[in-house]
Structure 1
Amino acid sequence: METLTTPPADRRFAVSLFSRLRTAKGQSNPFPVYAELRSRGAVAPAPWGGYLVTGFDVCDQVVRSREWLEPDARWREQQGDGTRWTAPSSREMSRTLPALNPPEHTWVRRSAGMFDRGSLDAMRGITERFTTRLLDNLAERLHDGEADFNALVAEELPVAVIGHWLGLPTADHPRLRELTHDQVFTQELLPSASQLALSDAATAELRTYFTGLVRERRARPGDDPVSRWISVWDGMESDRDKADEAVYFLSLFVLLAALETTTTLLSTTTLLLLEHSRQWDRLTIQPDLVPAAVEETLRYDPPTHVISRVASRDCELGGVEIRKDEMVHLLIGAAHRDPAKHEDPELFNMHRKPGHLAFSGGIHYCLGAPLARLEATTLLNQLVTRFPRLTLVRRPTWAPRVAFRRLLNLDVTLA
């Protein structure tokens, strides 16, 4: 296939847009930038090579096709030393479930065996109890004036739920949450050297923590997922060290997946509803709309704005020729507001027919999606019932990220 040369003007245009995305204004509201990029077509050149995809149908096509692969360990090694893809944290992530391709992906996903209807029902009660406890704490703080909903509730609920499920000591939760915030930088779109260093250090500490956990559960197995994974992998792998390594990577993946994006979903849902007061008021008298509010949040401002894939062969995508092993970045945050997919896409509308890629699609559809939805609907049901007069005090600030959205605060009060 003939290689197409990207016009310098297109490359400069993309560079200017990403410079704006990196500003505080761009991080708080990246959608005008996405709209400008989408105006250039569904597929556009990325400043650093590869392509950016902003059209919903094209993104949907890629995530559902087995001909588009994850940037796995093999692909990362090919990028050469000194690149972000060969950083220690990136190498480690290349062995977790989201970065695997078949057949390895198939084996690991089947071994996980989590969050079916039965296990989710078992977690429903504990999720409700944790939510009630956290909102009791919020009520105490609001009695004195204002409170940071993000710190008191959104950051706490996911680690409490997944920590309980994995059987992790409560005392470990704060440190695990901090490590997750740092670790995610290696999964960012364009991490800086300092961000990668934070990610490398966090990944090393998480490896020590979870390999120790696996050793402990092997010595003293219990009725918990880690012990069950050890049993499953012992039946799949005769080498005990390799089996333990597989369980370590599963445990690491579950923690990282459960904390960062779910926290953002909880805080963003609350923020958007408080900003759209009529829809908040509607929920307080019509709580059966809570699931719809969560789905619209996932469309309007998903926790993850970028999904990356590489081509398994030379192909054409959205009228653009892509070479084998070239990367495309699916800008999910932009695709969700594609007017070809949704009417009035800039409008936050709980009555909209659901349609989003927040949990990816195809064989890589998020294993934790049912749990994230459970936590979000449980929290929102209690929140609108207990705090119908909840009001936003000020606009929040956002972490310096593009791919993984994260609010740093969400200050609220009672009107």
Structure 2
Amino acid sequence: MGVVSTRSYDRRAAVSLFSRLRTAKGQADPFPVYAELTARGGVSPAPWGGSLVTDFDVCDQILRSREWLEPDARWREQQGAGTRWNAPSSREMGKTLPALNPPEHTRVRRAAGGIDRTTIQQLGRTVETETDRLLDTLIEQLREGEADFAALVSEELPVATVGHWLELPAADWPRLRELTHEQVFTQELLPSATQLARSDAATAELRSYFVELVRDRRARPGEDPVSRWIQTWDAIEPDRAEADEQVYLLALFVVLAALETTSTLLTTMALRLVEHPDRWRLLGTCPDLVPAFVEESLRYDPPTHVISRVASRDVVLGGVEIRRDEMVHLMVAAAHRDPARHSEPDRFDPLRKSAHLAFSGGIHYCLGAPLARLEAQTLLRRLVQRLPRLTLVRPPAWAPRVAFRRPLNLDVTFA
């Protein structure tokens, strides 16, 4: 993949860059920091070991290649007992579909099935109904002055959608949403000990919830996905306990993925809309641009800023030597603004043909991408139809994260 580079590397400067990313200012707008990181080269050593990749084509190549692996349970165990990779929450995530490698990944993904056209059509009716219900609540709140779009809409639509789909009691939705926000810390780039402890506690509670759910669906099966997953695993796994464990892990993964990143997408997409009135007028005049607006939102500020992979063999990547089992961090949010890939990459432009890696790539392409797009496009169409005078009151605050972006609020009002 290239000739080994002998360029000097200033570790202190790299540490400084990532320190800035962890500040409130850096989390509100990490892109100037990403630009400085990109200027250091498309592939550069990470301050804590491994490498950082900001080149779009290299990120894309890694995601599509089977020579680059997920940090699976085996890899996590090898990192040692005292590392973040062996926290209980991290070990649990190492068993879920996104952290598996072939052939185990192939087996589990096949058993999971996909979100086919029929399912999307069925869920589409739910998404439309829930979107209108949530916008009714938002409009009612706006009559009092201002309202938090994130709390009333973005956080609610994904959990309502997946809750209806999996037939989870509505009374459980708020707690599942809270636990998801806590659990994701173990998937962060550099979680603190406190964040890992919070993630461990959330993971334990989520395990209890979904193990009980699988037990209940086995006793009283229905037409829901969890019941169908039980039937599928019973046909391929003779050990009943192992079959139930696999269904639990799948249900856990689906809820975590559906709630966390989709809610962030909905909020950041709405932020792009309300911060510039011209964008309202554009979509009002050209509603066919709604899908393109969603894709540009995914490029401009994706829900996941970092995706990690592990080298399956020694390799030279962008002039940097990568050893077997060494981790590379794909800084996809930085890669989305690679000027070699997009002209004027810092400009939000729904008229461009956006290329992005927000849903990963290759065999790990996001299982829920069709559902996330359905929710985002439905919400955007309804917003343009029902609330064309919505404006931003103040910039949102952001959660203390680097890899998983999350606006904590989106305060809006009528113009």
Deviations 1:81-119 (A, max 9, x none): 110000000000000000000001001111111311111
1:91 aligns with 2:91: yes
Say if 1:6 and 1:45, in contact at 8 Å, map to a contact too. Answer: no
Per the alignment, residue 186 of structure 1 pairs with 186
Distance 1:276 1:195 in 2: 35
Matched letter for residue 199 of structure 1: S
Per the alignment, residue 213 of structure 2 pairs with 213
SS of residue matched to 2:163: helix
SS of residue matched to 2:354: coil
1:310 aligns with 2:290: no
Per the alignment, residue 410 of structure 1 pairs with 410
1:56 aligns with 2:51: no
Cα drift, residue 5 of structure 1:
11
1:227 aligns with 2:227: yes
Say if 2:131 and 2:379, in contact at 8 Å, map to a contact too. Answer: yes
1:20 aligns with 2:23: no
SS of residue matched to 1:242: helix
Distance 1:164 1:129 in 2: 11
SS of residue matched to 1:202: helix
Matched letter for residue 274 of structure 2: L
Cα drift, residue 8 of structure 1:
7.9
Per the alignment, residue 258 of structure 1 pairs with 258
Per the alignment, residue 100 of structure 2 pairs with 100
1:365 aligns with 2:365: yes
Say if 2:52 and 2:329, in contact at 8 Å, map to a contact too. Answer: yes
Distance 2:190 2:247 in 1: 29
1:293 aligns with 2:293: yes
Say if 2:269 and 2:297, in contact at 8 Å, map to a contact too. Answer: yes
SS of residue matched to 1:304: coil
Distance 2:170 2:7 in 1: 54
Distance 1:283 1:398 in 2: 27
What is the 5 A alignment of 1:115-194?
115-194=115-194
Q: Which runs of 5+ in 2 are unaligned?
A: none
Deviations 1:322-355 (A, max 9, x none): 0000000000010000000000000000011120
Instruction: Decide whether aligned partners of structure 1 residues 414 and 74 sit closer, same or farther in structure 2, where only a CA change above 3 A counts.
Output: same
Matched letter for residue 35 of structure 2: A
SS of residue matched to 2:162: helix
Cα drift, residue 274 of structure 1:
1.5
> TM-score if structure 2 supplies the norm length?
0.98
Distance 1:12 1:128 in 2: 51
Say if 1:10 and 1:45, in contact at 8 Å, map to a contact too. Answer: no
Say if 1:22 and 1:402, in contact at 8 Å, map to a contact too. Answer: yes
Say if 2:5 and 2:320, in contact at 8 Å, map to a contact too. Answer: no
Distance 2:378 2:6 in 1: 48
What is the 5 A alignment of 1:45-84?
45-84=45-84
Distance 2:134 2:16 in 1: 42
Per the alignment, residue 244 of structure 2 pairs with 244
Cα drift, residue 320 of structure 1:
1.0
Matched letter for residue 49 of structure 1: G
Per the alignment, residue 334 of structure 2 pairs with 334
Larger CA deviation: 82-91 vs 113-122: 113-122
Distance 1:235 1:160 in 2: 31
Q: Which runs of 5+ in 1 are unaligned?
A: none
Per the alignment, residue 351 of structure 2 pairs with 351
SS of residue matched to 1:329: strand
SS of residue matched to 1:328: strand
Distance 1:276 1:74 in 2: 48
Per the alignment, residue 387 of structure 2 pairs with 387
Larger CA deviation: 312-321 vs 206-215: 312-321
SS of residue matched to 2:10: helix
Matched letter for residue 352 of structure 1: R
Distance 2:219 2:77 in 1: 35
Instruction: Decide whether aligned partners of structure 1 residues 338 and 7 sit closer, same or farther in structure 2, where only a CA change above 3 A counts.
Output: closer
Runs of 4+ in 1 over 3 A off after TM superposition: 4-9
1:195 aligns with 2:200: no
Say if 1:158 and 1:375, in contact at 8 Å, map to a contact too. Answer: yes
Cα drift, residue 7 of structure 1:
8.0
Per the alignment, residue 112 of structure 1 pairs with 112
